[in-house]
Each structure stands twice: as structure tokens, then as C-alpha cells.
Structure 1
Amino acid sequence: MLSVYEAGTMRSASPNVLFVMTDQQRFDTIRALGNSRIYTPNIDRLVGRGVSFTNAYSADPICIPARHTIRTGCEAVTTGYLGNEKRDATHLEDRCGPFLARAMGARGYRTFLVGKYHAHPRDIDLGYDTRLSVEAYRADTGHEVKTTARQGAMVHLPQQNTLPRDSNYEAWMTDRAVECIERESEEPFFGLVSYEPPHPPFAPSAPFDRMYDPDRLSNPVKGDPDVDHMDEKIPAQNDHFWTTRDGGIDDTIVRVIKAYYYGMISEVDRHIGRLIDAVEGREDGDNTLVCFFSDHGELLGDHRGWEKSSFFESSCRVPFLVSWPAELPRGERRDDLVTLTDLFGIATTAAGEPNLRDGVDVLGVIRGDAEPRERLFGYHRTPRLPPNFTAMVREEDWKYVFMRNGGREQLFDLSTDPNELDECSDAFPEKTAALRAALVEKLTAEGQTEFVENGRLRRAPYQQIDMGRLVRKPYPEAPEDVLAELE
């Protein structure tokens, strides 16, 4: 069998490329990769089908910035999106080059997107031949995405999706994606199937809402409160999402929430099984590259926090599975540092015209033809708030985190402290200084003068952050005023 890399030529039939994405799924939610408490038989199939990267990161662990790194192959300091800014992104192709779907179309692929894309404006041209999202679902079915899901104060409370499990949004998405996969055409396909779960509201359909006994699930990981909340954005987010600033939710309630979060993952896993069946039902199924990943994780009560926007592992480390039976080994696990930025290069390299942009050659790393990443950088901030830029450097087993708000620093040795409970920057000052210097060098090279100046990281006096409370619809002045909606 001719390898895609042999003699620098492509096989006669270019591979199909399918990206399957979830939203806010932690790295530790796959049974085949060590979580015996969760049921993920179809994601486990992908683990067996290819290569699992166990040190994969969302380098900007927030919704919109993470998705921009996927569609551009560029880091957040290149795209200019370090936070969830709802601003026009049409200029990104001028800055970064064609979006991934457009790049794959130029390489002879038919392209489709089914599900969430999270870019502005809503009608932005992302380069797909076919795009099917929320609006199409509403037009087809007349349903809202989740009829019982409540926002604001209830966003993290366990709920149920009362729509039948085989006709809710995720089921409809899967139906449309299967049609796109099974369609006969002369061209290979590039597709992105982007599921919303397990992003809150935590509202699985029956019977997935009663699939997990909370008493059999683990409690959240908690360390020294001063370390857990050294990054002021965590307590600020807690308040924003209607918990106390200290994240003080009883562990019993946290386990119930985790049960519903797991239920959503198992429900999506069922749909992913249909995607895999559709791929394997094709004559060229083995010549179909499948990547499974998430845009970021979810603290889920760990470190007394919720949501993302943190460089604790629960928030920024993600699943990252790459399978291509015709070319890559099966059932292999690797601990190389990879990130969502690398997905652009995976797709374009498989298509025969590599364009790595800010990523590394992951397919070459698997085959031993390229060098793995030695050091990974990450960044995030929330716009329009006091200086809250946060950066991460991950090198070997070390993780360094810098917080501009207060000029705070953290260092963790993940080989001995995988739960990040032992902040050890004082114990290892030379390692802290070396990783700090690496961050300064990187930001200086990128021209990020907002964050680095004269060879030093820019610090700001510590301020408590007020993000306000999340309210999708204003509460009435008087309780009875809401009844006007019934008239």
C-alpha cells in the first residue's frame, strides 16, 4: 500500500477527513483512556481505531478563540482573539489565510459543517459548501434546541431535555451528518460535525439523565483556596454563573451535576457511533481520517471553579484522537504536546498540500518524520475588564502560569502532582525563571507589547473582577409581571 508520505506523493485517492467536535468536554471523560466510571463505547472505538494524544490542550480555553484557532491554524496572539469577543471575524482570512474549509475546498474536497460554529456575524462565510446549523433545525422541526434548558441562575443545575432523544438537535445533526458522509461524489469530503453538549445547561435526554448514580462519582479536586483562586477570573466566573465567589457548592450537588454532565457525553457518544458506522460503511472507510476533540474542558467544581477560562488541566486539557487506518497505527497512545492549532495541518497534510501555519506536523510526528513540539504556550483574557491576561507555558512535565492581575505565578510538576495541588514556584525558582523567560521571548517575538515590555512581563496591581451576573432575560420588577407572557 502506497503511503501518503512515500516519495512525496499522494495515494491515487485522497483520504476523506472528518472532524468530530464536542463543546466543553474534559480530557478525562473517556473510558478507554482511564475513566472507568463513564460509558463511552463509541469514542472508545475511535481510541482503538487510531492514536490518542494524552497531552492535548486548548491553548486558549474559551469558546470563540478556540474555534478561531481551529479554522485558521493560528494561535490566539495571531488571530487577536483571546476572549469571547462577539466581533466580526471576516477579516481573519486577510490576517491568517483562507479558513480551513476553504483551504480544503481548494484542494479538491467537498466540504460540510453540521452543528455549532460560533463565529460572528451569524452569516459569516467560513468556506463550507454545505452548512447546517440551529436555524436549519428550527426550520425543519419547529423546535428550539433544548426546550427545557434554563439559562442564568440555572445554567449549571441538572435539567432534562424533554424532546425525544431521537429527534432533538443532536439527533437531527447526526442524521444530516450521516447524509453528508454517505453522499456519493467524485471528490473526497472534509466535514466538521460540531456538537453542543456537554456544554451547559446540563440537560441530557431520557434515559441519559438517570444513567449515573452520583454516589458512585468522585468529588471535585480541591487544593489550597489561595492557590485554586490565585487567578481572580475563577471566583469572578463563579459569581457570574450564580455560584458563590468561593465556588462553595456542596460536594453532593457537584456529583449530581457531574452525573448529568456524564449523561450528556454518553448521549453524544451514541450519536458518534452512527457517524463511525457511516464512515466504516463506505468503501473507502479505512482511507478516512477522523479527528475527535473538544474546544476546551470544564472545571466542574475542581479547584472551586466552574466553566473554562483557566489553565488548570480540567479546563484546558482536551480529548484529541486521530485515526486513519490506511496510514496510521491503531490503539496507540502518545504523550506529545499537541493543541487545537495543529488540526489545520492534520487536514491539509492528509490532503497532500501541507500548511501547518502555527501548528506542528502531527501526522509526521506519529510516523517519526517530524519533531514533536518541545514547548506549548497558551493565553486568555476577558475583554473590557481590569487587566486579566493569563498565560501558560507547558514543557516536559512542568506547567508555568502567569497572571497579569497582581503579577502572580504558579508552577506545577504534573509528573508528581497531576491534580495541581502543590504549587511549587518557590521550591523551583530556576525552573520558574526559565519558563518565565520563555514566555517573555515568545510574546516579544509576537510583538505583544501589551503584555511584555523591555524584556519583562507586564504586571498590574491586583483587582477583584466583577463580571456581573449571567441573565439571558431580565428578571421582572415584580414576580407577577412575568405572567404577562401568558396573555
Structure 2
Amino acid sequence: MKQPNVLLIMCDQLRADAIGAYGNGIVRTPNLDRLMRRGLTYDNAYSTCPVCMPARYTIRTGREPYQTGYYDNGGLCLTEEQPSNHEERCGAYLPRTMSALGYRTFGIGKFHTDPWNEDLGYEVQIRSEELFDTEEQAEGDDYARFIMNQHPAYAHIEQLHGERTEMYYMPQTSPVPAEITVEAWAADEAVKQIQSEDSRPYFGFVSFIGPHPPLAPPVPFNRMYNPDAMPNPVRGELEVDFMDEQLPWMNHLIWAEDIDDPRARALKARYYGEITYIDQCIGRILDAVDSRPDGDETLIVFFSDHGDHMGDHHAWQKESFFEASTRVPYLISWPARLPKGERRDELVCLTDIFAIATYAAGSMETRDGYDVLGCELEKAQPRIHLFGWYGKPGSATFKIMVRHMDWKLIYMANGGRVQLFNLRNDPNELNERSADFPAIVEEMRCAALEEMTRHKSLALAMLDGEFRSFPFVARPLARIRQFNLSKGVADFQIN
């Protein structure tokens, strides 16, 4: 069988419930809805470490944090036995693997690598990152260079994607017009690569920065949604929502500890505006795919790296195992081989993308993932439990998620706290049920411990065959300052 084209399209911080065809009755996403009609929609898809860098290393390696060494954005956490070289530790990256299988490869957009200019194995790699720590990094950013060289009238802007720091969760408007935002630029570059003539099939990765904050859609998408038509955040009891001490700490870190309902509704309006704008950009990419004679032989996978609380559970940002943070949109379409317009409830995750791409290429590697296409096309067995990991093993920030059937268990080492939710009866996770169903807690706890014993790098997260716990301690509150260091701006000051 001829190898299909494989195209991965990714957004940053897009909640699964922020797409029209997923059931959202407000946001308009005609092109993502079109993509859903083209194939399969997975309703139980997860980012197993719901934060930027760990999720991206999972996608490019097919490995979980116990192999990648990325449990949060704080840098590598490896055992003495684990090699420091990423690919020696995890295996060849997905683009390098696909190149070896005969594919023309290109990657466009945000990669969030360590180091910033890491070689990922693409024949063509075109970068656009959010923040620049050095002048070298700014000069190496293809989008920043595009603005500097082709639209110098906007070259003075310190933060091209919107202001951060104390403005991170303030409603904003893009500082550049819709035609030259980073999303439009990424779509333009993707169309060029898709239309490129080559006898080989293509493997492409298009990674949009949005709708990650700052929430700054361009005109006219900044005024597309009326804040008064937005619902308020869904909040539970504070003692349940803040059992995960990460949430109040993160709120303060990003200047979002006291967002009232009117501001939350305004932020959601801008969030939806950004999503609809990105949807328009994705439409141009889908048009380019369909314009080729092999459009139906193109496997497209759409997903995000994690969600955003958007005020739900009294929280903003991500890094929790609440659905708003860890559940992601997950669309797989391959018209020549897969059904169209159908929903699936199997447990899938970002780790599985490596297996999906290599299955289509004819040489599948599941690595730490599951054979999702095999489950669909060959009736292979789906996973029974899905696990999530966050925070350095052996530290108070370590957390575990277990999904099984209708249930979700969350364990937090800080205080040894446990949460249990029934997602069928309580999709908003407002009713913590661990005291009511001790047998369910025990079954899921044992499943997690059994999984942990398989991986030496998780040994520090256990003690005497149980989850390691620590006396509860709230971290000292801090603020993060996110300015453009490449322009010499590091704090609130005038140089």
C-alpha cells in the first residue's frame, strides 16, 4: 500500500470543549468541525503531563515523562542510568523516524525545545517561539525575522503575540494585523510546504502558538464575541478545587489570583475569538490538502498540548489533572481508510501520536503509547488504564492521574491528598467521591503502583510499596516576569 501523507496540526492551550462540534454552542469553528466530519473524534483524549515542554517531548518521542525526563517546565529530571542525550534516551525523534521511512519532512511553528535551536530531524524547520532569552534566539526565530524584514513598521513591538507578565490574563488585541500574525504566517508556510512538488509523501507538523495567553486575537476577531454572552467559570468548593496546591500558587505566579466574573467572561470572549481566528487559518491548510490529488490519502491528526482552566476550579493556566487542563481535542482523519464523522470513547493520549504516524508509514513503533489505528482498523485491544505524571518524582509537587472507565483518580504527594471523580455523572468534577468509593480508589491506586514499579525513574515517588507523601506545605507565593530579554527588558523599568 502506498504511504499516505501525514500531517499533524497542533494548537497550544486549546481545551477540548472549545470546539463547536465537540458540543460548544458558542464558539464558531467551521473548519475544525469540517475536520471532525472528515474522520474520528476522540472524547477521552489526554495530555499525560499537561504543560508545555513535557507535552511536546512526549509528542516527538512517543515517550512518557519517566523516559523523556520532563515532568514540568523546570528542566530535566533524570536518574543516573538515563543518558543525557534526548534521542539516546528516548529513541529517534518522530521527524527523523519519518525521514528514515521515506518521507519529506517539515515542521512549522512553536517547538519549545531544550536547547531552543535543537535539531529535531526535519528537512525544513521554520520556528516561531513565544519568548526570546537572547538576541541570538530572537534572530533565529523565523517569524520575528519575517516581521523585521518584510513588515519593519512592526519591528519595534517588544512582544509580537501580546503582552505578558501582569497582562497575561487581561483581554487584549493583537499588536499586528490579522494578515501577518504568527498564526497567519504559520498557515502560509504550511500551504507552501504542502504544495511543494516531491515524489515522496510528506510528513508535516504545524504548531500554532495560540490560543495560549496572552489572549490577543487580531481585529475583527477581538470583538467577535460579546462577553455578556459568555458563561461564568464553573467552580467547585474551594477546599476541593485547591486540594492541588499548584492552582493557587500558579494563579498568583501569573497575576491571576483575583479575576472576577466580568473579567473572566471578557477573557473567554477573547479566547474564543483567537480560536475562531486560528480555525480560519487551519481552513487554508485543509484547502491545500484537499487541492492535491492525494488529499484522501492524507492522514491528519489535530490535537493540543493541554487545555486551560479559564477560571474553572478557581484556576487559570494548566498543570493540573482536572479535565479543563489535561483533556485535549483529538481528531484523526484518513478518508481512504477510516470512517468519517464518528465519535470514539477509547482512552487515548499524546503519547500515541508517534504510533499513529509510524503505523500509517508502514513501520509502527508504539514506544510508550498504544496502537490507536490498530484498535480502529485491526480491532486491537484498547488501553484499560491511562496514567498521567507531573512533577519531579520524590518531591512534593509530584502528582499522578489514573483514568479507568468512568472514573478518574488524582493523587498529590503534597499532603498525600486523593481525589476521585465520576466523569460520566460529574463531568465538571465538582463532587469528590473518594470517601464514598474506597474500593474504586484501591483498585486504581494498585494499578498506578503496578505501573510505577515498571519504571526505575519513578522509584523515588514510592516508599515501601506505596505512594510517597509529604506533610502539606504551601509554596511561597511569587510573580513571574515575562518580558523580552533579547531587547534588554527584564522588569518594570525604563532603561
Q: Within 2, Cα distance between the matches of 1:388 and 1:90? A: 23
User: Which digits, 9 at most, give the CA deviation of each residue in 1:364-415, with x for residues without a partner?
Assistant: 11224211111100011269x9621011000000000000000000000111
Shift of 1:252: 1.4
The aligned counterpart of 1:389 is 398
Question: Are the equivalent residues in 2 in contact too, given 1:155–1:202 (CA < 8 A)?
Answer: yes
Distance 1:148 1:308, change over 3 A: closer
CA distance in 1, matches of 2:455, 2:75: 24
Q: 1:91 aligned to 2:85? A: yes
Tell me: CA distance 1:68–1:147, structure 2 relative to 1, closer, same or farther (3 Å).
closer
Whether the 8 Å CA contact 1:299–1:314 is kept in 2: the answer is yes
Report deviation, 1:308: 0.5
2:147 paired residue number: 141
Pairs aligned (count): 464
The answer on 1:198 being equivalent to 2:192 is: no
Q: Structure 1 unaligned runs (5+)? A: 1-10
List gaps (5 residues or longer) in structure 2: 78-82, 129-140, 149-154, 484-489
2:163 aligns to what? 150
Aligned match of 1:82: 71
Residue by residue, what CA displacement relative to the aligned partner does 1:330-369 show, whole Å, maximum 9, x if unpaired?
A: 0010010000000000000000001111111111112242
Kept in 2: contact 1:53–1:335 (CA 8 A): yes
SS in structure 2 opposite 1:195?
strand
Cα distance change of structure 1 residues 50 and 148 upon mapping to structure 2, 3 Å threshold: closer
Moved more, 129-138 or 309-318: 129-138
Matches within 5 A, 1:26-425: 26-86=15-75, 91-134=85-128, 135-142=141-148, 143=155, 146-147=159-160, 149-244=162-257, 248-381=258-391, 387-425=396-434
Instruction: Go from structure 1 to structure 2 and tell me whether the alpha carbon gap of 1:90 and 1:166 turns closer, same or farther (over 3 Å shift).
Output: farther
- AA of the residue aligned to 2:455: E
Distance 1:309 1:69 in 2: 15
Check whether the contact 1:84–1:382 (CA below 8 A) recurs between aligned residues. Answer: no
Normalization by structure 2: what TM-score?
A: 0.91
Q: Does the 8 Å CA contact 2:168/2:213 hold for their aligned counterparts?
A: yes
Q: Retained in 1: the 8 A contact 2:169–2:256? A: no
Deviations 1:279-330 (A, max 9, x none): 0000100000000000000000000001000000000000000000000000
Q: 1:457 aligns with which of 458, 467, 477?
A: 467
Determine helix, strand or coil for the equivalent of 2:49: coil
Three-state SS of the structure 2 residue aligned to 1:430 is helix
Return the alpha-carbon distance in structure 2 between the equivalents of residues 455 and 470 of structure 1: 37
CA contact (8 A) 2:69 2:76 kept: no
Looking at structure 1, the residues matched to 389 and 362 of structure 2 have their Cα atoms a distance apart, in angstroms, of 31
Task: Give the superposition deviation at 1:122.
Answer: 1.7
Q: Give the TM-score, by structure 1 length.
A: 0.93
On the 8 A contact 1:87/1:121 being kept in 2, the answer is no
Matched residue, 2:446: 437
How much has 1:268 moved relative to structure 2?
A: 0.4
- Tell me the equivalent position of 2:137: none
Indicate if the aligned counterparts of 1:390 and 1:401 stay in contact, CA closer than 8 A. Answer: yes
Amino acid at match of 2:381: E
Q: Is the 8 A contact 2:300 2:333 kept in 1?
A: yes
Q: 1:116 to 1:147 in 2, by over 3 A?
A: closer
CA distance 1:300–1:382, shift in 2 (3 Å) = farther
